[in-house]
A and B are shown apart, each in its own frame.
Chain A
């Protein structure tokens, strides 16, 4: 099929075919942001351990993993949206509302697996509303998700009139702490599977490349024949689902639904994506980066606690870290 199409003329001295680096070098290059964050996380832990040796203990690391799992899952969904140059401000409210609905279902006597599916429906509905308004009505993602953020956040109070719900179901903890794979707690398993599956999809599936393509240049993507509206709709729906799932994992551990449970999480999830190398203009970043960003935020919070700094400072420290992360990213990209 490629036999005799005319080759461009070339004068021996002025044309050199592009060369491709080896796979190892390519991976190092394309994951340099992620590698830098991983190193930074280890450094932070080492610094914290100077003050508080138990920072590196098994128990503390398990704590960090447990605390970061919901944020990781939420960040993955938010990342998909950001990669298409959109934004999802509603994930925190979805998180809270899902928790309340799940709490109601469980306290109403529903079997916990069924209650989980019902609660996941919350995320799907919110995501579908976001996706529908963005793709079919053509409203700006910021505005649409600001609306669902506000409405979802208030509904979380409305459903129980503001009361929190204690989860009494004796088996619900299994969602988070059970071991579908012996020796590996579910929350770790879910994170690993989700990150690996998404990273594979984003790099190796055409669908994943479309997500980046849309974020890179949506006009060009449309003209190429990429089903832009379907993909857009899909990422908002996925973001809602991830937020709900994150909420269930958290609830299964904490056993108490509160209407404010997701209040801080939206900003943290967006921050995780940005730390992980995603540009808010879309078309860049990775699932692994978003995960590492979420871990980093959790590690910082954990460190601030261990060192004994007043926890009111947490936000400031996180802000500083985001600044440093994007500055480093900017500098490494400038040199390249």
Chain B
């Protein structure tokens, strides 16, 4: 490589990294020019997050060279990062989380009022309501989606010249993503560069100029303008040729046996025969109250749930589980994974309870192995910790819990959050297959294209969290959803 060019804010060449015996990055290259929005693409486990952790100095590289701003040693405030697994201080307020990490000078006095105002302004750029109402709330009390916004606001207000955003939109609604993108464009025009990771192709095309694609830790596409690459070429470079072929015939599913679930509540009364897939669309507030009731986590008396005609009122999740309700949480770190237990326990945990098992049997190893293979989960061994898995792979692990025993009612919160394009298709197929065997599926997603593809009925919630309409099979479209949820683009 030639001497570093002043046009690049970041140059990483031949980066190598391995964890024990598994080599994760083998000669990864990445160059980011000033003021560009650069997409970093690759399948789950390709090494994107690992590379980002190396770029910001959190992880030591085994080999290769790294230059930030032409310097070997990056100045600490040059880079701001939003990690895939959020890293906020739970007991401090939203405002403190936004201003504290920056411009630390040890004993410098915190000018709280001034800083708080800066934090408010930063947050208001991306979400005014949150800035108005939650600025002094401890982070532990706001939900995942709001935490994501706080993280982004923190990075945006840092004054860094390079932003590294690892799947910043995975927890955001369409409108919020749009707002983020317009901020990024504005920053770009001032010379601030962004590296963004996402598995949503239309999003990438909307915001990024160029892309770099990783595959098994190698750079296979190096800094190419996105306009020169077709979707098919990108997917192929990521090593997911199958993804495009898997056509999605939206045949109505008719299961022969199963449970009929009916949901009644303010503005809504639906009956879901076995095999139906009900979508929930809209900002998380509304859907999450319904979901919490369905799974018994926090029962809202406004909603009435009946299974096969019998009214069900779940006081605790254990009761819902006993009635055959399965749940995949959208917040995998807080509410999903058992991080100190091996992958095996994480996968069979649900079947152990549903099956009222006493013994952690030998058969479980085989079941786990099958589930991992079916979801193409990249793992060293089923005895490893789930923390050794990439973000999207952890997500698949949560879904793997429900493959062995298909629940009567399966409640999914963003089950494809962070999952790569190829596997997303497979997950759709798997969910549809579960429905065909009689499961009733309730699916919340912020990705409208996903809902329109799978659901045979969609309940839309508006921004205040109330039901604004039910869209039946014939009328489902992204435009209809955007209108009904008040997120018209």
Contact = CB atoms under 8 A, between A and B. Distances in A.
Contacts of A212: 338, 340-341, 345
B239 A21 contact: no
Contacts of A18: 343, 369, 372, 377-382, 384
- Between B316, B349, B380, B426, the greatest number of chain A beta carbons within 10 A of the residue's beta carbon is seen for B349
Interface stretch (B112-120, B328-336, B443-451): B328-336
Contacts of B404: 2
A176 B76 CA distance: 63
Nearest to B398: A220
Contact of B345 (A2, A9, A213, A215): A213
Contacts of A223: 295, 297, 317, 327, 329, 335-336
B47 to A, nearest CB: 12
A225 B321 contact: yes
A137 interface: no
B257 to A, nearest CB: 14
- Between B43, B360, B384, the greatest number of chain A beta carbons within 10 A of the residue's beta carbon is seen for B360
B318 interface: yes
Given A14-B215, A204-B359, A224 B340 contact: no
Given A13-B239, A223-B327, A225-B321, A7 B339 contact: no
B375 interface: yes
B289 to A, nearest CB: 16
Contacts of B377: 18
Interface in B314-356: 316-318, 320-322, 327, 329, 334-341, 343, 345, 349-350, 352-354
A227 B335 CA distance: 16
B242 to A, nearest CB: 3
A14 B239 contact: yes
B474 interface: no
Nearest to B362: A204
A53 to B, nearest CB: 43
B339 A217 contact: yes
- Between B327, B376, B429, the greatest number of chain A beta carbons within 10 A of the residue's beta carbon is seen for B376
A208 B403 CA distance: 23
Nearest to A15: B376
Interface string A1-17: 01011111111011111
B433 interface: yes
B341 A15 contact: no
Interface residues of B, number: 65
B383 A283 contact: no
Nearest to B321: A225
A160 interface: no
Contacts of B379: 18
A335 B20 contact: yes
B387 to A, nearest CB: 11
A9 B20 contact: no
A206 B358 contact: yes
A5 B381 CA distance: 23
B374 interface: yes
Interface string A265-288: 000000000000001001110000
B373 interface: yes
A10 B376 contact: yes
B215 A209 contact: no
B339 A283 contact: yes
Leading 5 A-B pairs by shortest Cβ distance: A225-B321, A283-B340, A9-B242, A8-B376, A6-B429
13 contacts: A7-B374, A8-B426, A10-B242, A11-B240, A14-B216, A16-B378, A18-B369, A30-B383, A209-B345, A220-B337, A224-B321, A225-B322, A282-B340
